[in-house]
Structure 1
Amino acid sequence: MSERPLSPIVPDDQFNAAHTQPVSRTHAKEEPLMPETMTALFGGTGPDWAVRQAPVPQPGPGQIVVRARAAALNNADASMLAAADPTSGGTGKEYRAGYEFAGEVAAVGDGVGAPVVGERVMGTTPGSFAQYVLADHRHVLPVPDELAHEEACALPTGLLTEHGALMTAGFRAGQPVLITGATCPAPPG
C-alpha cells in the first residue's frame, strides 16, 4: 500500500483499472456493475494525505453513490489534516478526507426517488476525496448545465452557510438582503 501526497482531485489515470467493470445505469436494487475498489485520500498518517485503494461504497436506504469528477478543498480539510497529523502532536486517527464533490449518480439505495442514476449532482459529505462518494440523497443538488464539475464542487458548503445565515437571521422570501462578495476573471496568459 503506497502513500504519497496528492491533490484533492484524484485523476482517472491513478485508478486501478484491473478491478473495474462498466457502471450500469440501473437502480441499486438491480445490482449495478461498479468497480470493486477505488482510489481515495486518507489523513491521520502524517502531514500529507495518503493515497489508498478502498472498497467502493454501496448505497443503503436513502443513500446514493456518486462517481466524483471533482472535489473542493476548503479550510476544514486543512484543519482536519493538521489536527490528525501524528508527527506534530495530532490525534493520529485515520479518516477519509474531503467534504465537497460533484459528479454523476452511479447508484441509488432504497427509498430514493431523486436524484436518479446518471444525473449530475454536487453535494457535501465526509470522505469526498474519493472516486466514488457515498452521500445522503438529501445532501445533494442538481448541477446546472452551465456549470462544470470543477465549479460546482466548490458551491455546497458556501450555499449551506448562506442559507443557514439567512434562516438564523429570520429572513423570508421577498425581504431585501445585502450580499457582499467579489470575483474576477483569471489573469490572461
Structure 2
Amino acid sequence: MPDSGLMPEPSLTVPETMRAWVLGGPDEMRLTEKPVPVPGRGEVLIRIDAVAICATDLEIIHYGTPALVDGEPPFNKDFTIGHEYMGTVAALGPGVDEVAVGQRVTVEVHAGCGQCKRCRQGMYTSCHNYGQRAKGHRANGFTTDGGFAEYAVNHVNTIIPVPDRMTDEEATLVVTAGTSMYGLTELGGLVAGESCVVSGPGAIGLLAVAVARSLGAYPVILTGTRESRLEIGRKLGATHTVNVREADTVEAVRAIVGDKGADYVIECAGTEAAINDAIRMTNRGGKVCLAGFPHDMATVDLPHVVKNNIYLYGIRGEGRSATHRAMQLMADRRFDATLIHTHTFALQDLPEALRHARERVDDAIKVVVKARGAAALCQEAAE
C-alpha cells in the first residue's frame, strides 16, 4: 500500500459518547463521559489514538494559564486539555475533501480566526481573537477541547497526514518538533553553516537540536545539567555538549564557536540566568529565540542587547505551518524523534502519566498516552 497515511478500514463507527478527562480545580483531573463532538463546516472528527504530555499541560493543570475558556480560566468548565495528539479521521464536516475517513493524521494546535491582522499575515498562533470561538478561533487543549479524550474536532487547516511507516507515538511528537522549527523560522530561517546553541535539553530543546542540525547548522551546541539528556542530544545531532554544572556556559560556548559568539541561540530553560547566558553567548547582530516559559519577571541585560544589536524573539506554539515542515524531516528520517519518547500509559492511567511527566520519574521526557491498545502495550513492556 502506498505511504499515504490511509488505514485499511474504509469507515469508522462513531459512538454517541466518549471517555474524556476534564479539568476540575487546580491539580484536579476527572475521567468522565462526554458527547462525541460533531464536526462543523471545514472540520474533521479525529478518533484519538495517542497523545503526548507537554510541559504546558502541566502548567494548565496547576496554574490555568495559558488556557482560556470563553475568556475565563479553564477550571471547572468541563474542559479537556491535551494538544499533542494524533489519530484516525472518523468523520468529515461539510466541505471537507482534503482528507479521508480512515486516514492517520496528526494535528497542529492552533487554528486562527482567519480574519484578524495576524491571521492574515500567517501568524495564527498570535491571533487577535484568541479564545473567541464565535470568531472561529480554536486552540485545542488551550481554548477548545483537546486530546485527553477518545475524540476531538480539528479544523482541516490543522491536519497533517501521517506516513504508514511512522508509529503513533512518533506522530505525537510532530508538534514538539514543529515548535522548534517555528523558533528557527522566526529567527529568519536557519542558514546552513551558521552556529546554533540550544539551552535546556527538554523535549523542545532536544528536538531543536535535531531540527537545527537537519537544516545544516554547524556547530550545534546543547547546554544542560543532566548527562543523560546531553547524550540524547548528541544522538540527535549535537556536535558539542556543555554540562553547565561543570563549566561556565558562556565561556564554554565561546571556546567552541570563537570569541565573537554564536549566530543563533534557542533558549528553552526559561530561567533568568539562562536568558542572560543566552544573550551573552550571542554574537553581535545575532539572534536569540526565547522558547522557554518563564514563571516570573526576569532582570535581563538589555544594555548588552542594545549595544550589540542582538535580536530577541519570543515564540508561541508551532506557527507558520512549521509542523508540516517538521513532519517532512521526520518522515525523511532526518532525525529520530522517538529518542525523546520515554514512557507510555493507557488513557485511564492519565494521572500516573502526568505524575511521571511532572516529577520526571525515571528521567521521563515525553510521556505518551494511548487511547487505543495501550493496556496490551504496557503489559508487553512490563514483561
TM-score above 0.5, yes or no: yes
Letter in 1 for 2:153: L
Offset, 1:91: 7.0
Conserved in 2, the CA contact under 8 Å of 1:24 and 1:33?
Answer: no
Q: What is the aligned-residue identity percentage?
A: 28
Distance 1:24 1:61 in 2: 22
Offset, 1:24: 7.4
Please say if 1:35 is aligned against 2:15: yes
CA 1:140–1:91 in 2, change beyond 3 Å: closer, same or farther? Answer: closer
Offset, 1:46: 4.9
Conserved in 1, the CA contact under 8 Å of 2:26 and 2:63?
Answer: no
Distance 1:105 1:56 in 2: 14
Q: Which has the higher contact order (CA 8 A, sep 6+)?
A: 1
Deviation per CA, 1:69-121, whole angstroms, max 9, x where unpaired? 1111001110000024xxxxx87443212111111100111221212111100
More helix by share: 2
In structure 1, the residue matched to 2:54 is 74
Equivalent runs, 1:79-98 vs 2, <5 Å: 79-84=59-64, 92-94=75-77, 95-98=79-82
Name the larger-Rg structure.
2
Of 89, 94, 103 in structure 2, the residue corresponding to residue 119 of structure 1 is 103
Equivalent runs, 1:44-55 vs 2, <5 Å: 44-55=24-35
Of 88, 93, 105 in structure 2, the residue corresponding to residue 109 of structure 1 is 93
Of 109, 132, 152 in structure 2, the residue corresponding to residue 133 of structure 1 is 152
TM-score, structure 2 length as denominator? 0.36
In structure 1, the residue matched to 2:209 is 180
Conserved in 2, the CA contact under 8 Å of 1:83 and 1:91?
Answer: no
Deviation per CA, 1:146-184, whole angstroms, max 9, x where unpaired? 22112211222x233133223212227xx3165525255
What is the CA RMSD across the aligned residues, in angstroms? 2.7
Distance 1:109 1:91 in 2: 27
In structure 1, the residue matched to 2:181 is 163
Give the SS at the match of 2:20.
Answer: strand
In structure 1, the residue matched to 2:169 is 150
Distance 2:102 2:168 in 1: 14
Offset, 1:139: 1.0
In structure 1, the residue matched to 2:39 is 59
Give the SS at the match of 2:209.
Answer: coil
Structure 2: unaligned runs, 5 residues or longer? 1-8, 65-72, 110-139, 197-207, 211-232, 236-338, 343-382
TM-score, structure 1 length as denominator? 0.69
Give the SS at the match of 1:118.
Answer: coil
